[in-house]
Amino acid sequence: MEKFCNIVRSTATILRKIVRYLAGLEWTEKKQDVCRFCDHQNFQKIVYQDDHTIAFENARLAGQLHWLLIPVEHVRDVEALTGEHVHLLERLEDVKTLLLERYCPDVSPSVIHSGYHRGRRPLVGSLFWPDIVSIHHLHLHVIVETQWYMKLFKYPAWLPLMWKSDEQVMREAQMKHKKASSSQANFKID
Ligand SMILES: [Zn+2]
Ligand SMILES: [Zn+2]
């Protein structure tokens, strides 16, 4: 009987934890009026900077090396990208290549993990998929030799609900760009 009570009690504790976790997620928009990534004084270890792109070391490293690459232009997250952003994404890719060449030229591509956390998407009505992006300013994660548990839970390439590789994000933006320019061409003919 005591064993049964213990099982019930621990199940209740786990359920309570799950409910609390779900309730704590951002189901509705939490507006960030001041963007921490638009204020460049917030970056401590900048590894690259030009007029369009900034790269800096992430505060918590998920691997041997871990950079965040951001466009200077404010874009909320990957969901907000259109065909117009192809150049912006290309510049991020260029900086990624440059950093990898500069800091770890001999490392195998298989140990490089890069991509974006998914952003704000509608779920039902006024509810959105819970926001897992802590700072609402597009940032590309580039991680070298990622710790396995970080790759499993925090930067999960296997979970499209949470993560998109930079290659895929680029492909989608290029497709949107193609569509937009072909519909523009049609418009001109009409
Ligand atoms: Zn911003
Ligand atoms: Zn992120």
At 105-137, the pLDDT tens digits run 999 999 999 999 998 888 888 788 877 788 899
Question: What pLDDT, on a 0 to 100 scale, did the predictor assign at position 108?
Answer: 94
Q: What angle do CA 133, 176, 74 make, to 5 degrees?
A: 40
Domain ranges of the chain: 33-185
The yes/no answer on whether domain 33-185 falls in CATH 3.30.450.90 is no
Alpha helices by DSSP H, listed for the chain, are: 2-24, 86-103, 148-149, 166-189
- Expressed in angstroms and rounded, the spacing between residue 102 Cα and the centre of ligand 1 is 27
What pTM did the predictor assign? Answer: 0.82
Per-residue pLDDT band for 171 (boundaries 50, 70, 90) equals very high
| Strand partners of residue 115 | 141, 165
- Expressed in angstroms and rounded, the spacing between residue 119 Cα and the centre of ligand 2 is 9
- Expressed in angstroms and rounded, the spacing between residue 68 Cα and the centre of ligand 2 is 8
Return all residues near 44 (Cβ < 8 A) that are at least 6 apart: 56, 57, 59
- Expressed in angstroms and rounded, the spacing between residue 156 Cα and the centre of ligand 2 is 11
The span from the CA of 54 to the CA of 68, in Å, is 8
Helix axis angle for 86-103 and 166-189, nearest 10°, is 150
Question: What pLDDT, on a 0 to 100 scale, did the predictor assign at position 97?
Answer: 97
Instruction: Find tokens 């710790």 and name the residue.
Output: 147
pLDDT tens for each residue of 49-107: 999 999 999 999 999 999 999 999 999 999 999 999 999 999 999 999 999 999 999 99
pLDDT tens for each residue of 10-45: 999 989 988 887 777 777 777 778 899 999 888 889
CA-based torsion, 119, 146, 69, 136: positive or negative: positive
